[in-house]
A and B are shown apart, each in its own frame.
Chain A
Amino acid sequence: MTDLLPFLVIGLTTGSVYGLAAMGLVLTYKTSGIFNFAHGAIAALAAYAFYEVKVVRGLPWPVALLVAVVVLPPLVAMLMERVTRALAGATTTMKIVATIGIQLIITGALLAHYGAAGLTFPAFLPADTIELFGVYVGIDQLVSACVAALGALGFFVFFTFSPLGVRMRAVVDDPDLLSLAGTSPFAVRSWAWLIGSHFAAISGVLLAPLIGLDALLLTLLVVQAYGAAAVGLFASLPMTYAGGLLIGVLAALATNVVSGSVVLSGLPPAMPFLVLFAVLLLAGKRRLVDIGATRPTPPQPPLLGPRTARIVALVVIGIGIAVPFLVGAKLPVYANALVFVLIFSSLQLLVRTSGQVSLAHAGLVAVGAATFSHLAVGAGLPWLVAVLLAGAVAVPVGALVAIPAIRLSGLFLALATFGFGLLLENVVYRTGLLFGASGSLPAPRPDGLGGDLPFYYVLLGFAVAGVLLVAAVGRSRLGRLLRAMADSPTSLATLGLGVNVTRVTVFGISAFLAGVAGALYASQGHSATGTPFTSFTSLTWLTVLVLCGAARSAAPLAAAIVFAVLPAYGGGEADGSSGWMPVLFGVGALLVALHESSARRGRSHVSAEWPTGSRAAERIGSPGRAAARERVAHRDVDSAVRVRVGAAGGAR
């Protein structure tokens, strides 16, 4: 027990900061209905702002602190409030895409500007240690923990007793009623965003000394935060703080258990995901209700008629066949792009056809890549068999995360897949199950077709087959069911189990395609590695696909070109997940999300020219006792008008 005490203390100190961050996340989610995937990115931004002022500009640390936690958060909050307002009535998918876009903008910019390697964060609190319950604790850690705890407590008191806090709770209950009582829900939400951004910024500055200045790591603070939020069922603030402590302690204890094991070293960071996953599994549908859930928009009609579309498709395939003779040495770029056509098709199937968001897609592709190598090299299976089996293996892996989450709202699927992607990346990639400790496996090409040119045509074949498969799913009974789900929320309710089975089936098909794409990617590059398939990549893919949404069913092709071809002609980036590209994609996806939600609101606006039902309804010209009155002849009244049972009956 005494051995564990130090870990317990460390766990509580970091957990306290997680708790504070999580409270900010839950507050903004509860009041606005928007789950902010960029919460951790805001924390990272604050930490980097501190670094910029203190280290780069050389100003004293109080100034840096002022900039990071006083000046910056209101700016962020203002942006978030505007975005929230513009997202009113948007689909769950677009709400998720919008904040992921913001996350990508912030994280991408930090990575592009400061580089991916971690920087040393300047310690600004005294690093001496004091003895506490027989354990030596750094004063800085103690101060962090206390600041976070005081912030959490102070906020709880404010939220419970102050007039503004009361209104924040009221906006959660019923924003319309609050506005009828003379308080603008938007104003209240602005305050919530302000507090939420402050909490994110403070936790970023407090955590950076502990985990170093690493944009990706800090961004993933949102994961600790949503693990904690899950403990509070995304609603209770005190439970959320407690959840933060729990996750801090679990992660610290896990560190103790796995110390010495390289393979398991990823377990502590995966803790929050395991907690989230447990909550999703255990908590019922009733207790995990997405506050911001709206029904999906039915898929848009295709841009072209079926005949024209077929001709265009043939022309595109023709161009695909001609590409090797046009692009010279850039052929590998186009071969890669064909793999991405497959990847984006599988993502399209989820996002556009069935309105689900997967943020573990890169993970599934990686699973396909590694499995392929194990099967083709390890087990010596024929190339094609190994490719198809790699796809098949990705299906149960995808189902593992999809099944518990899919019965809940789309938000929880996004959260679960995001966490799952991180788990794969941090824990499983380095194990023998996937890429092993060396991180790289050999990957063969098919016998006789191993040259760049013949293999290009193999990939073209797969890409065309994949696109056809996705189109066939869209047109099948499954596709019709999905459209029916989007059209009518009641059918969604009455179909019951059928809906979940449908969703899991679609998720499975999508995972299969992702796995096959992984195998092909590895084969094309002669080796299978997890490096190109991080969670950050998953986010980037999603934004690129959404960005190309205007191309409708050709979006996967457009996305593949944007992601894999354009960078090769631009600044020499490897692909769309490096350099400043993610920032651009983030901006684009955010704009698309905002545009789609305003278009959706526009559709729901009723035009005045709507055909009026030729009732003999007469306007009243003037008020008062001398008003012109019109008594409508009863022949004009259909018998169809019924009255509520209690209406007349109640008036005894």
Chain B
Amino acid sequence: MFELDSITAGYSGSVVLRDVSLWVPPRSVVALLGANGAGKTTLLRVASGLLKPSAGRMRLDGVDVTGKPPHVLARHGVCHVPEGRGVFPHLTVRDNLTIQATGGSAAEAVERAVSAFPILGEKLNQQAGALSGGQQQMLALAHAYVIDPSHVLLDEVSMGLAPVVVDEIFESLAKLAASGCALLLVEQYISRALELADYAYLITRGGIEFAGEPGELDGDQLTAKYLGTPLRS
């Protein structure tokens, strides 16, 4: 269980999140929706410790982890796949995986990553920056397989990828969820995210507007009302 309680946070001079509470129960998939600039990325950055909240508490399996740095949270099972490409572009794929393993066996890390994304096996000695966008995203996602995280925070991992690659990524997310770790999912493919999700949160301008089961969110209404364009899926 990962609990964010009344979080207020922001960047130099501007508050982005105001009094946001969000819970990720064990073994569940939580979708976090919201328009551009609503504060989804900011919330995930708070959750993984990259951004210190100015108010509010965070608890991980009952333990207060407010203000803990990211590497400590990571070692406690929080795995954040950040927005953009979560890879070290000038390092080889193998080196990227070694780092993801957090001191664990590099060989085992490679083995796990390759069994999740076989294509990575062919690219081990290539620079990560030279991979295709989809392959980079798989490498970033491999982090969740290389370690055994209790909570995975995913920030638009499908962004800018070809539909087949998106399918592959969503399949792997489903597998990840089935393996028992909890997911906090920020996605632009709203309907696919909601299919996967047990709970959904809608965030608007830094505040939670809706929290509940995906079924209660009417997809068409959601997009029409909150996101401005109809959903075509």
Contact = CB atoms under 8 A, between A and B. Distances in A.
Interface stretch (A177-185, A345-353, A420-428, A443-451): A177-185
A98 B26 CA distance: 47
Interface stretch (A165-173, A469-477, A487-495, A539-547): A165-173
A606 B13 contact: yes
Interface in A149-186: 163, 166-167, 169-170, 172-174, 176-185
A169 B19 contact: no
B12 A652 contact: no
A630 B188 contact: no
Nearest to A170: B88
A307 interface: no
Contacts of B35: 641-643
5 contacts: A170-B91, A181-B71, A182-B74, A646-B188, A652-B233
Interface in B197-233: 199, 204-213, 216, 223, 225-233
A261 interface: no
Contacts of A648: 190, 223, 227, 229-232
Interface residues of B, number: 78
B34 to A, nearest CB: 9
A647 B86 contact: no
Contacts of B228: 639, 641-643
A631 B208 CA distance: 10
A328 interface: no
Contact of B90 (A173, A183, A622, A644): A173
A163 B11 CA distance: 33
A613 B99 contact: no
A603 B12 CA distance: 7
A25 B92 CA distance: 25
Given A169-B91, A612-B18, A604 B100 contact: no
Contacts of B38: 641
Interface of A is mostly: loop
Interface string B119-156: 00000000000000000000000010001000000000
Interface in B1-35: 1, 3, 6, 8-15, 18-19, 21-23, 25, 35
A606 B74 contact: no
B69 interface: yes
Contact of A182 (B19, B103, B212, B232): B103
Given A173-B91, A619-B19, A639-B228, A630 B209 contact: yes
Interface of B: 1, 3, 6, 8-15, 18-19, 21-23, 25, 35-36, 38, 48-50, 54-55, 69-71, 74-75, 79-80, 82, 86-91, 95, 98-100, 102-103, 106, 143, 147, 159-160, 163, 188-192, 199, 204-213, 216, 223, 225-233
Given A179-B69, A617-B204, A604 B13 contact: yes
Given A173-B91, A617-B204, A647-B227, A166 B75 contact: no
A604 B13 CA distance: 5
Interface of A: 163, 166-167, 169-170, 172-174, 176-185, 603-608, 610, 612-613, 615-620, 622-625, 627, 629-632, 634, 637, 639, 641-644, 646-652
Contacts of A610: 8, 10, 15, 18
Given A169-B91, A630-B211, A180 B229 contact: no
Contacts of B23: 620, 622-624
Given A178-B71, A181-B71, 13 more contacts: A173-B90, A179-B49, A606-B11, A606-B13, A610-B10, A610-B18, A629-B211, A637-B225, A642-B35, A648-B231, A648-B232, A650-B189, A651-B190
Contacts of B232: 648-649, 651-652
Contacts of A644: 36, 188
B225 to A, nearest CB: 5
A181 to B, nearest CB: 5
Contacts of A170: 88, 91, 95, 99
